[in-house]
Amino acid sequence: MSSPPVKRALISVSDKEGLSEFAAGLVDAGVEIYSTGGTRRHLEESGLSIKDVAEYTGFPEMMDGRVKTLHPRIFAGLLCRFDREDDMQSLAEHDISTFELIVVNLYPFQQTIAREGVTQAEAIEQIDIGGPSLVRAAAKNHKFVNIVTDKGQYDRVLSEIKDSGTTSLETRFELASHAFAMTADYDAAISNYFISKSGTAESSVESSDDAFADTISVELKRSAILRYGENPHQKAAVYEQLGISGPSLVRAKQLNGKELSYNNLLDLDAAYNIAQSYTDPAVSVIKHNNPCGAAVADNIAEATKNAMAGDPLSAFGSVLGFNQQVDEAAAEVLAEPGLFIEAIAAPSFSSAAVEILTTRPKWKANVRLMEMGDGRLSAGDGQLRQIAGALLLQDGDTLADAYDEWQVVTESQLDESLESELRFAWQIVRHIKSNAIAICRNRSLVGAGAGQMSRVDSVEISIRKAGDRVQGAVLSSDAFFPFPDSIHAAADAGIAAIIQPGGSRRDDEVIAACNERGIPMVFTGRRHFKH
């Protein structure tokens, strides 16, 4: 049969934005509207004549609205097949009307649990029962029934009903597809919330010793189609992971510049997370997802200057991350002739900084300025990475280092003046791709060796990058030295101190090489690989 005309609609929504106008349009098109509780009162206050679901079912709303639409007279009218004589005969026998349009959006569970201090009891009351049931029933029967779950769908549906009294099967299928995706996301959010709360004081469920659940659900919503991926021949999109706290590039406010590319997003995320790992004013400079410059200082302008000086050649066309507002003085540094910046992520930008960065440099029109807001991601948010046929999940490498557990393992003791240098170097090396070496001076990255198959190659690259600045600098390694060759290369270059995890079978040889060359070395006992 052809698409049935839309005669009756059932409307029950939490988000009422745009609803009155939509409902008025339906009434004008001859559609009879049934509704519940707060939605019915909202529409009646708009001057519309609305039928009460409770009067239709003969069963009152109860339990503070927990039970409203869960009734055979509703679901039979939703699930009947208009092309089946036996279905239609059943409706006639029981005096049940059909519903060709359902308008539902769900209790705001995700928004509720995102609020600081929300209790489990409050969260549980925002778990919708009737809404998802209506949505799934209508979506299942989309051959005959329209399911509207988003205010962005109002105009299309209303336009088709006004034009022809009904909608196309194509439209109903698309509505159903969106509806099933919505209920899947909703259930995933609830599942993840319960898993996260297992074993807490409010929960009666005993937690497992296993830190990871047997199953997880990842809620993703497409945020944008990107121009292309890592290369022009690759298609790409960015999806927002729902239910995650803290700042995110997909929720950031873009103050200037072209749309972000796939590579921009990767680099901005790395840059911002590096800067956020420091408490003092900090700036990181990223090229190809590795830091080529980073610095902390007494103020953000000085940190900017020192970070850009880390590897000036590589910094051309780089992406920057700040851990505090980009002020006028920092913007002046970046506006100096000869620099080229692709994008900047920061908690905020002063109005003077925006004015300078968008009017002074040659790249003014193109630089992407991403205002991230306050806060940071927590280790508990986790890191997902895809491999063929599977996802890897781990905690973020954000565990604070226990400085009191560090050990000087050499005869040469550490000069107190180098302690802050070593702490800076140890923090930055965790952000460089392994095998990773960082050479630092004056709390600035002056030479980095990244992603080499041999650790001594990374040492030699970092020394070359540092140039004359290697004299008196400190060297940090993300993992142990397997051979003493790296120690000799560092000593020949003038390195003043070395920090590394330790743990090699040849630790004694490496320590002996340091003793021979008079270089103090610290063991942290913790590795920081970044593959």
Of 129, 243, 149, nearest in space to 189 by CA: 243
* Rounded-to-integer distance, Cα 436 and Cα 478, Å: 6
The answer to whether the beta carbons of residues 245 and 114 sit under 8 Å apart is: yes
The answer to whether the beta carbons of residues 341 and 318 sit under 8 Å apart is: yes
Residue 373, both tokens: 């807001």
* Rounded-to-integer distance, Cα 133 and Cα 68, Å: 12
Count CA within 13 A, CB hemisphere, residue 9: 32
528 is catalytic: no
Catalytic residue selected from 7, 71, 140, 197: 140
Identify residue 121 by its one-letter amino acid code. A
Alpha-carbon separation of residue 425 from 69, 394, 428 (angstroms): 61, 24, 5
Could you identify the residue written with the tokens 């991350």? Answer: 321
Could you identify the residue written with the tokens 């986790």? Answer: 382
* Rounded-to-integer distance, Cα 168 and Cα 207, Å: 50
Residue 29, both tokens: 């098109």
- 52-75 burial string, b = 16+ CB within 10 Å, else e? ebbebbebebeeeeeebbebebbb
In 3-state terms, what secondary structure has residue 274?
helix
CA 338-343-344 angle, to 5 degrees, is: 100
Q: What is the DSSP letter of 349?
A: B
* Rounded-to-integer distance, Cα 374 and Cα 372, Å: 7
- 167-198 burial string, b = 16+ CB within 10 Å, else e? beeebbeebbebbbebbebbebbbebbbbebe
Catalytic residue selected from 143, 151, 258, 288: 288
CA 204-210-211 angle, to 5 degrees, is: 90
Q: What proportions of the chain, in percent to the nearest 5, are helix, strand and coil?
A: 40, 20, 45
* Rounded-to-integer distance, Cα 106 and Cα 102, Å: 13
Identify residue 206 by its one-letter amino acid code. E
Q: Which helix (H) or strand (E) holds 73?
A: helix 72-79
Residue 282, both tokens: 């900090």
* Rounded-to-integer distance, Cα 480 and Cα 283, Å: 27
Backbone angles phi, psi at 92, to 5 degrees: -65, -40
233 is catalytic: no
The catalytic residues are 140, 288
